[in-house]
Amino acid sequence: MHLRDGEIALKVVTRHLTPYVLSLVKILAIAIPFYVLLFYIGRAIGNNALIYILAFVSFFVGIIITMITLDYILDKLIITNKRVIWINWKTLFKREEHEAELMDIQDIETREKGILSKWHIMDYGLLQIATASSTLCISFEDCPDPEGIKHFIILQMEKMYSTVQKNHTTPQPGIVLKPEEWSVN
- For residue 138, list its beta bridge partners: 129
C-alpha angle with apex 70: 52 to 35, nearest 5 degrees? Answer: 30
Rounded CA gap, 43 and 23, in Å? Answer: 32
- How does pLDDT run across 128-155, given as a tens digit for each residue? 999 887 667 899 999 998 999 999 999 9
Q: Using one digit for the tens of pLDDT, what is the confidence trace for 156-170?
A: 999 888 877 777 655
CA distance 41 to 136: 51
Instruction: Evaluate if residue 124 carries a pLDDT over 60.
Output: yes
With a cut of 70, say whether residue 67 has pLDDT above it.
yes
Question: DSSP letter string over 92-140?
Answer: SS-EEEEEEEGGGEEEEEEEE-GGGGGSGGG-EEEEEEEESSSSEEEEE
175 Cβ contact list (under 8 Å, min separation 6): none
In this prediction, residue 185 has a pLDDT band, given cuts at 50, 70 and 90, of very low
Q: What is the mean pLDDT of residues 161-185?
A: 60
pLDDT at res. 34 = 86
Which of the pair, 44 or 138, is modelled with greater confidence? 138
What CA–CA distance (Å, rounded) separates 73 from 14?
7
Nearest-CA neighbor of 145 among 169, 164, 119, 168? 119
How confident is residue 3, by pLDDT bands cut at 50, 70 and 90? confident
Closest CA to 37 of 28, 50, 26: 50
Per-residue pLDDT of 20-41, as tens digits, reads 999 999 999 999 998 888 888 8
* From 16-30, 121-135, 171-185, the region with the lowest mean pLDDT: 171-185
Instruction: Give 6's pLDDT tier (boundaries 50, 70, 90).
Output: confident
